Amino acid sequence: MELLIKNGIIYDPINGVNGEKMDIAIRDGKIVENVKESKALKIDASGMTVMPGGVDIHCHIAGSEVNTGRLLRPEDHFRDFERKTPNTRSGVGHSVPSTFTTGYRYAKMGYTTIMNPSMPPLEAKHTHEELNDTPMVDKATYPLLGDWWFVLEYLKDGKIEECARYVAWMITTTKGYAIKIVNPGGLEAWGSGRNVSSIDDQVPYFGITPREILRGLCKVNKLLNLPHTIHVHTNNLGKPGNYLTALDTMKCVEDLASEGKPAIHITHCQFCAFKGSDWRTVKSGAEEIAKYVNNHPHVTLDIGQVIFTDTTTMTADGPFQYSLYGLTGNKWVNHDVETETSSGIVPFRYRRKSYVHAIQWSTGLELALLVKDPWKIFMTTDHPNGGPFIYYPRIIAWFMSKKAREATLKKINPRAESRSLLPSTDRELSFYEIAIMTRAGQAKALGLEGKGHLGVGADADVAIYAINPETIDPSKKYKTVRKAFENAAYTIKGGKIVAKKGEILKHVEGATMWLDVQVSEPIRITEEMKRRFREYWTVEYENYPVTENYLGVSHPITIKADV
Ligand SMILES: [Zn+2]
């Protein structure tokens, strides 16, 4: 099967292509040098924007907490549902959409790769079952390892190499992709109703600090040669004054970075960029965070932008969700995953007229605009925590147009408006920078070689948007920009046209990418280890691993570790 995309205006930042008119040739699911025009299926992309398929580095779309969110929020689904079509299944939205709807909606926006960031290893099978059921996109998932007892025990004893072997085993066994750390030490403390409040607090019973967990797993990450850095949700998330904790977290691995390479990814940074001492005095810490990130090469961020809408918050940060429940009085689910992690879910509505919510909205955009290098900061809403992913086009419009920002600024809480840093920044991102922050930069940070670019050999995942950058001024016509990114003119996945103008044309499965981390001395599953499983977990060892045939479409990536 050959496909030729003709005369599009190409944005392919990894290959340095900035708005050039070019043809893209595709054969057997890959980008190739050229194809025979007479034989290939042709798409006329004249006057349209062509980018690699979108990549989402952090979105909660599958697994136990998402599914619990669906059960908790029947009202979420009433007003937002999808009818069955000849090509698609029916399903529901809005903030916790069903699996099929998730895949279809991403595909309509031109997204082709998405990363599920928070998998308790104990619930890996459930997560993979739902990922198998999420069509149209390639996907991967990050096991939560920052509070796993094995990690805490080995790091406490300074046994980094031993810890690395266990982490390698865990990632491969649960078919994961990266080391996820959430509120390090705080989740273990939460098991006994406590929390930690700085990176130097002691974790109860383990005699270890969040700093030691972060540094230990950063070293482990390096020893294992993992393609992505440690992926960190900081301590004190969602609390006034926490920008200092975010800075401490970035600083604590500064010396572990090598050759200007990233060593840590701080996820949904907006939620840990608050200045102030309480909710009345809270304000943006974006300037300080951006200043640090602009001066240090070892950090990447994603934003966690807030959207003014009704949504569902869900994280492994059990103690944070508990305080959110206390703030809102809303319904709440809490879950403790034995020896590994926790989680909580609370419905939430971000209101324009709320001082705090408006500050959060502004802070996310400030981060995006004040961090100078788009390769360091990526667009997310931490779906669904800041808002559902379907609102990405709205964020793109805010990025590209000061006028769009001003239109929203006028409607927000006046005290928040007067404190916002947005009126003082004139920066408007270009299509090239948007392509970095929504696909190229994310793919690069994830170490996904075949994704996020349109060079020869790349996966033929392409998004074509009906907008002509040569004739439109996105600064003025931001509504047109938003519309164009809402429904891609064409979404091409693995060389097949899967969506066109908001309609799904073809159902494809999409692969689950996972790391087969090869260490020189893999840990042996001894009777002693099985005993620990029996003692610590309610699941016996034999039921724990996710075998490869459990995955719908398996895409293993072999990694040779240095240990
Ligand atoms: Zn998240």
Please check whether residue 363 is in contact with residue 412, taking contact to mean a CB–CB distance below 8 angstroms. Answer: no
Taking the centre of ligand 1 as the mean of its atom positions, its distance from the CA of residue 36, in whole angstroms, is: 45
Check residue 348 and give its pLDDT: 93
Helix axes 286-295 and 243-251, enclosed angle (nearest 10): 10
Q: Determine the Cα angle at 372 with ends 369 and 377, to 5°.
A: 70
Under the banding of pLDDT at 50, 70 and 90, the label for residue 543 is: confident
Check residue 349 and give its pLDDT: 95
Taking the centre of ligand 1 as the mean of its atom positions, its distance from the CA of residue 320, in whole angstroms, is: 12
Taking the centre of ligand 1 as the mean of its atom positions, its distance from the CA of residue 291, in whole angstroms, is: 24
Q: Does residue 339 carry a pLDDT above 80?
A: no
Model confidence pLDDT, tens digit, residues 429-457 = 999 999 999 999 999 999 999 999 999 99
Give every CB contact of residue 250 below 8 A, 6+ residues apart in sequence.
264, 266, 292, 293, 296, 298, 299
Beta strand ranges found along 106-183 (DSSP E): 111-119, 138-143, 180-182
Q: Is 554 helix (H, G, I), strand (E, B) or coil?
A: strand
Check residue 319 and give its pLDDT: 87
Helix axes 149-156 and 210-223, enclosed angle (nearest 10): 90
Q: Cα–Cα distance between 365 and 388 in angstroms, integer? A: 16
Q: In what order do the strands lie in the sheet with 180-182?
A: 180-182, 230-233, 264-266, 299-302, 377-378
Lowest mean pLDDT among 201-215, 416-430, 520-534: 520-534
CA dihedral 214, 219, 220, 221 (to 10 degrees): 90
For residue 298, is the peptide bond before it cis, meaning its omega torsion is within 30 degrees of 0?
A: no
Please check whether residue 103 is in contact with residue 88, taking contact to mean a CB–CB distance below 8 angstroms. Answer: no
Please identify which residue in the block is written with the tokens 């030490």. Answer: 185
Lowest mean pLDDT among 94-98, 269-273, 328-332: 328-332
DSSP codes, 465-534: ES--TTT--TTT-HHHHHHHHHS-SEEEETTEEEEETTEE-------EEEEEEE-SSPPP--HHHHHHHH
Helix axes 355-370 and 286-295, enclosed angle (nearest 10): 20
DSSP letter (8 states) at residue 459: B
Please identify which residue in the block is written with the tokens 């349209």. Answer: 48
Please check whether residue 310 is in contact with residue 347, taking contact to mean a CB–CB distance below 8 angstroms. Answer: yes
Taking the centre of ligand 1 as the mean of its atom positions, its distance from the CA of residue 463, in whole angstroms, is: 25
3-class DSSP string for 74-87: HHHHHCCEECCCCC
Taking the centre of ligand 1 as the mean of its atom positions, its distance from the CA of residue 326, in whole angstroms, is: 20
**Pick the residue with more confidence: 319 or 241?**
241
Taking the centre of ligand 1 as the mean of its atom positions, its distance from the CA of residue 59, in whole angstroms, is: 6
Pairing of the two strands 283-284 and 333-337: unpaired
Check residue 1 and give its pLDDT: 84
Taking the centre of ligand 1 as the mean of its atom positions, its distance from the CA of residue 372, in whole angstroms, is: 24
DSSP codes, 347-415: EEE--TT-HHHHHHHHHHHHHHHHS--GGGEE---TTTTSS-GGGHHHHHHHHH-HHHHHHHHTTS-HH
CB contact burial 149-180 (16+ within 10 A = b; e otherwise): bbbbbbbbeeebebbbbbbbbbbbbbbbbbbb
End-to-end CA distance of the chain: 43
Residues linked to residue 32 through DSSP beta bridges, in sequence order: 25
Model confidence pLDDT, tens digit, residues 49-104 = 999 999 999 999 999 899 999 999 999 998 899 999 999 999 998 999 999 999 99
Taking the centre of ligand 1 as the mean of its atom positions, its distance from the CA of residue 181, in whole angstroms, is: 11
Under the banding of pLDDT at 50, 70 and 90, the label for residue 201 is: very high
Q: Cα–Cα distance between 421 and 415 in angstroms, integer? A: 12
Taking the centre of ligand 1 as the mean of its atom positions, its distance from the CA of residue 364, in whole angstroms, is: 15
Check residue 287 and give its pLDDT: 98
Give every CB contact of residue 234 below 8 A, 6+ residues apart in sequence.
183, 242, 245, 246, 249, 266, 272
Under the banding of pLDDT at 50, 70 and 90, the label for residue 297 is: very high
Question: Which segment, 205-219, 323-337, 519-533, is predicted with the most confidence on average?
Answer: 205-219
In the structure, how many helices (H) and strands (E) does the chain have? 19, 26
Taking the centre of ligand 1 as the mean of its atom positions, its distance from the CA of residue 317, in whole angstroms, is: 9
Please identify which residue in the block is written with the tokens 């899967």. Answer: 498
CB contact burial 381-399 (16+ within 10 A = b; e otherwise): bbbbbbbbbbbbbbbbbbb
Domains of the chain: 2-52+453-504 (2.30.40.10)
Q: Cα–Cα distance between 344 and 190 in angstroms, integer? A: 11
Check residue 540 and give its pLDDT: 83
Please identify which residue in the block is written with the tokens 């103008």. Answer: 501
Q: Cα–Cα distance between 320 and 314 in angstroms, integer? A: 10
Whether pTM > 0.95 for this model: the answer is yes
Taking the centre of ligand 1 as the mean of its atom positions, its distance from the CA of residue 6, in whole angstroms, is: 38
Check residue 544 and give its pLDDT: 86
Q: Cα–Cα distance between 113 and 302 in angstroms, integer? A: 16
Under the banding of pLDDT at 50, 70 and 90, the label for residue 279 is: very high
